[in-house]
């Protein structure tokens, strides 16, 4: 409703939060601890990508199908805001998620 929009604008102008507390908590948790969003398996796959391994090599090493590796990487890309393997590794290294 228009009254809620106007109220939100006024609160923002006063420097107050206009975001629901539960949403703000989730966002802050992801920003302060980026590794929390990645599962142990996603971290494992990402580390192997960082070593230069192909999806096929990762699948063999972890006893997974290539489709499963691709699925893990898709989740990693989304969680890190990356578009490809190289940027995912770069972001993860920058954040200290992988060495």
Q: How far is CA 67 from the centre of its chain?
A: 20
Residues in CB range of 20: below 8 A, 6 or more apart: none
What stretches of 18-71 adopt beta strand conformation (E)? none
In whole angstroms, give the CA distance from residue 76 to residue 53. Answer: 16
* Single pTM value for the model: 0.65
pLDDT digits 0-9 by tens, 23-82: 666 555 555 555 558 999 999 999 999 999 999 999 999 999 999 999 999 999 999 999
Domains with residue ranges and CATH for the chain: 1-32 (no CATH), 34-99 (1.10.10.10)
How many other CB atoms are found less than 10 A from the CB of residue 10?
A: 11
């Amino acid at each position: 409703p228009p009254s809620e929009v106007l109220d939100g604008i006024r609160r923002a102008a006063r420097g107050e939060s206009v975001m629901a507390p539960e949403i703000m908590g989730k966002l802050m948790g992801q920003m302060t601890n980026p590794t929390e969003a990645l599962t142990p398996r996603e971290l494992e796959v990402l580390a192997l990508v960082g070593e230069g391994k192909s999806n096929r090599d990762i699948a063999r090493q972890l006893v997974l199908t290539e489709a499963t590796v691709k699925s893990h990487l898709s989740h990693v890309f989304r969680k890190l805001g990356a578009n490809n393997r190289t940027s995912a590794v770069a972001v993860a290294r920058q954040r200290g998620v992988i060495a």
